[in-house]
């Protein structure tokens, strides 16, 4: 089984993905890590030196490459992965892929992301929590169409990683 976690940045895709993969006994893959490996530089540096359009082209290429593998895994995508280059449509059409939307409340995302915004190219320019909250709200409105196409939706506001993994497993099996 190939499980693809989607959701906004800060929704816990990597943390939940690692734990879910361990529980299921299958490999964990992280889109950002795979992109950095392929490109030989960090995501922030790709954005800075080559721009977001270049990044999105590489992102869909890496996604298709990962999904072409025959073995099962858990994949944590980037927050924008399903929203560009027809990626979500591609994901939904894969017979052996289950997409899971980690739906996290805006206030939780704001709290999680404010302290780490300097490491997130799309957020680094935002100076206050109110600005960040407004940005996330607008982004989620734009991205909701894509996220809501996932096969499963799991709400994860105040739950621990273990509780979120349990929710996913209950929905999968």
Q: Would you give per-residue pLDDT tens digits along the chain (173 residues)?
A: 999 999 999 999 999 999 999 999 999 999 999 999 999 999 889 988 999 899 999 999 999 999 998 899 999 999 999 999 889 999 999 989 999 999 999 999 999 898 887 777 778 888 899 999 999 999 999 999 999 999 999 999 888 999 999 999 999 98
**Residue positions in the annotated binding site?**
10-15, 32, 56, 79, 120, 143
48 burial via Cβ count (<10 Å: 0-12, 13-18, 19+): exposed
Distance CA(60)–CA(81), nearest Å, equals 7
**Contact (CB, 8 A) for 1 and 27:** no
**What integer pLDDT is reported at residue 123 of this predicted model?**
83
**What integer pLDDT is reported at residue 126 of this predicted model?**
87
**Residue positions in the annotated binding site for Mg(2+)?**
14
* Residue that is written with structure tokens 């816990």 in the block: 12
**The token pair that represents 99 in the structure block:** 């997409």
Torsion angles phi and psi, residue 167, rounded to 5? -60, -45
- CA angle, 116 then 60 then 112, to 5°: 15
**Contact (CB, 8 A) for 171 and 152:** yes
**What integer pLDDT is reported at residue 26 of this predicted model?**
97
**Residue positions in the annotated binding site for substrate?**
32, 56, 79, 143
**Residue positions in the annotated binding site for ATP?**
10-15, 120
Q: Which of 3.40.50.720, 3.40.50.300, 3.90.79.10, 1.10.10.10 would CATH assign to domain 2-172?
A: 3.40.50.300
**What are the domain boundaries of the chain?**
2-172
**What integer pLDDT is reported at residue 77 of this predicted model?**
97
């Amino acid at each position: 089984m190939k499980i693809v976690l989607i959701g906004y940045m800060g929704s816990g895709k990597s943390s939940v993905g690692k734990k879910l993969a361990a529980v299921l006994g299958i490999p964990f893959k992280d889109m950002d890590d795979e992109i950095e490996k392929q490109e030989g530089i960090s995501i922030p540096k790709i954005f800075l030196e080559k721009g977001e359009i270049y990044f999105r082209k590489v992102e869909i290429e890496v996604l298709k490459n990962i999904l072409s593998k025959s073995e099962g895994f858990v994949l944590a995508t980037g927050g924008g992965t399903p929203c560009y280059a027809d990626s979500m449509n591609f994901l939904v059409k894969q017979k052996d892929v289950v997409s899971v939307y980690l739906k996290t409340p805006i206030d939780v995302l704001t709290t999680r992301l404010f302290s780490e915004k300097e490491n997130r190219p799309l957020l680094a320019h935002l100076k206050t929590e109110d600005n960040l909250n407004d940005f996330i709200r607008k982004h989620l409105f734009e991205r909701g169409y894509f996220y809501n196409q996932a096969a499963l939706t799991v709400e994860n506001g105040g739950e621990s990683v273990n509780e979120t993994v349990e929710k996913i497993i209950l929905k999968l099996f």
